[in-house]
Structure 1
């Protein structure tokens, strides 16, 4: 058995900027590789046809096991798959390659693997920058919210005291100005909080788009932003990882919003000079992430309702931070869309730890 209408496949492959290929599984050789291959992989087609294993030498060291797993899956399954991995070309140039495979069987025997490989480096790097900017934006919003909340609340409190002062009785113009200041303080605090809640609510409405991402790098980037703001937030932030790198299939933008929201909740319910710790651990086929604090904890009677929408477990933060009662429900939804699970341990007046487990 061979490709149906192979001439058409080759004709398209010869004109494409992507790499069309046909791999003869039984003889372990490429029977066809499109000319785009040489400009993307920066080695000759003849060299690969002579020794197909030389391609493996181009794979990034951190992705070699991943590529082997992908190849084994492709051989064992009877369906098309899409894979992404990195290669290192001349001058140590790193490229991201996306491969779509189509296994061809005859009498339950795999004969060929045809497919298309494309260089997605530009799109990948753009996504990295967008995700990093988005994660930092969410973190910055939380920090700015906290930075503005307390001074605005103090101004509002001082103005309230002045409004009750009998010495200003009858001074209509002054009282109007003070009332205006008080209302503006309250309005701006609510505006900031609503903006953050709106951003998080919208994230759950967008379809999950999972890609292979380094969780350690992404979470370290988020927690690092909080660590830089420790003096302003009056909390201590720690990050612990069992490995320098841990890869998993996630929608990085949404998953980092989950981490951000858990940290934000810890800030709300942890006293000044308290500690918030984020850790990540490799557990074989899954990754375990935890966000813990030594705050006021969650009362036992509220714990069963924590992940419900508009839950009775919603509470104001220690400094009056409001809650819509939607955050934890959305967190749970996003985690489950990643085929993971979330749970927590909490003791009132001792602290809380939230655990997230997702498959690698």
Structure 2
């Protein structure tokens, strides 16, 4: 190794390693690597792998095997357990062939602080999305009722002699409609802001992510007067997604279920790990989707948008963008629905 490069790696905070495949040993580890893993003995692959969190070991092995097979592997993130502490590491592995043999080498960085900050941001973002939907529901419902009542009142006084009464009824109708439109435009803008940003996939715990997203819905069941359940076939399920965008998909589906499920109804969010895929379901026992909307529900311009049971506006930009975001993740989305018996939306993602 050239002296300058050697000096840089020795002084770097990043972790550098080189493993000689034919000799089955590490040919180089810089001080940062040794310090991160707290090594006081000659390191071996089984020793280091044992420090990787059990839930991440299979993933790490698969990525290393892919790299050794000649495939291009991007960054590999995993958790490293050292005693009672747990840290996150991001590794950039490479396969190098030289006259001296084949080397599995690369660099890594400690991303524990970054992951902690990202987790806080994700929690705040999930809270923001769910609170916005709840607020939109709580605001739009009475506004929708006011608008409906003002419309009925306008009909009753249409022939009244007092012109002021007719004028007031029209004003109530006009301003309630304007407020409903403002709520819809605001929610549209929020969804568009998230959908329009470049996709950045990361390996995350899907169970944890959706639990965070639905926490506020669960905490507001009494106010919403609906039961919300979460079910999963496992305690942890890992998948590569863009967290912000995918949370928007879940948030939009749950919001739609809230709008079209009557008081006392039930909404269930489920996650099932299959052999090659992860299946996510959002089910409700609401009014269902009329058959005439089934064929065009996911199209950009369709007539399937409906106000909620309590006058809630059609928030979000419709099912077409949800479908687009799911497809960005190499997934598929479909639904089953029968009018009067509820709906179930399915999202299938590759593991």
Fold agreement, TM-score > 0.5 = yes
Count of residues in correspondence between the two structures: 349
Q: Would the aligned equivalents of 1:280 and 1:287 in 2 still touch at CA under 8 Å?
A: yes
How far does the alpha carbon of each residue in 1:212-261 deviate from its partner, in whole angstroms, 9 at most, with x for none?
11111111222332121112212221111000110101111111110110
* Structure 1 pair 10–221 and aligned structure 2 pair: CA distance change class (3 A): same
Match of 1:210 in 2: 201
Tell me how far 1:63 sits from its aligned partner. 1.4
Match among 83, 93, 108 for residue 85 of structure 2 = 93
Tell me how far 1:145 sits from its aligned partner. 0.9
Give the CA RMSD over aligned residues.
2.7
Tell me how far 1:289 sits from its aligned partner. 0.5
How far does the alpha carbon of each residue in 1:194-228 deviate from its partner, in whole angstroms, 9 at most, with x for none?
21121112222111111111111111222332121
Return the alpha-carbon distance in structure 2 between the equivalents of residues 112 and 27 of structure 1: 10
Matched, 1:47 2:38: no
Match of 1:73 in 2: 66
Q: What secondary structure is seen at the aligned counterpart in 1 of 2:200?
A: coil
When the two structures are superposed, what TM-score results if normalisation uses the length of structure 1? 0.88
Match of 1:26 in 2: 22
Unaligned runs of 5+ in 1: none
Return the alpha-carbon distance in structure 2 between the equivalents of residues 168 and 35 of structure 1: 91
Q: What secondary structure is seen at the aligned counterpart in 1 of 2:231?
A: strand
Tell me how far 1:70 sits from its aligned partner. 2.0
Return the alpha-carbon distance in structure 2 between the equivalents of residues 295 and 215 of structure 1: 26
Matched, 1:223 2:217: no
Return the alpha-carbon distance in structure 2 between the equivalents of residues 48 and 117 of structure 1: 19
* Structure 1 pair 29–205 and aligned structure 2 pair: CA distance change class (3 A): same
Return the alpha-carbon distance in structure 1 between the equivalents of residues 283 and 164 of structure 2: 51
Return the alpha-carbon distance in structure 1 between the equivalents of residues 182 and 101 of structure 2: 60
Return the alpha-carbon distance in structure 2 between the equivalents of residues 110 and 358 of structure 1: 39
Unaligned runs of 5+ in 2: none
Matched, 1:347 2:338: yes
Matched, 1:257 2:257: no
Q: What secondary structure is seen at the aligned counterpart in 1 of 2:287?
A: coil
* Structure 1 pair 98–180 and aligned structure 2 pair: CA distance change class (3 A): same
Q: Would the aligned equivalents of 2:145 and 2:310 in 1 still touch at CA under 8 Å?
A: no
Q: Would the aligned equivalents of 2:280 and 2:348 in 1 still touch at CA under 8 Å?
A: yes
How far does the alpha carbon of each residue in 1:92-111 deviate from its partner, in whole angstroms, 9 at most, with x for none?
2211100001101359x971
Match of 1:119 in 2: 110
- Describe how 1:1-360 pairs up with structure 2 within 5 A: 6-41=2-37, 43-44=38-39, 47-49=41-43, 51-90=44-83, 92-105=84-97, 111-156=102-147, 169=162, 183-323=174-314, 326-360=317-351
How far does the alpha carbon of each residue in 1:114-159 deviate from its partner, in whole angstroms, 9 at most, with x for none?
2001001111111111111111111111111111122333445566
Tell me how far 1:288 sits from its aligned partner. 0.3
Return the alpha-carbon distance in structure 2 between the equivalents of residues 278 and 83 of structure 1: 29
Return the alpha-carbon distance in structure 2 between the equivalents of residues 189 and 151 of structure 1: 10
* Structure 1 pair 147–27 and aligned structure 2 pair: CA distance change class (3 A): same
When the two structures are superposed, what TM-score results if normalisation uses the length of structure 2? 0.90
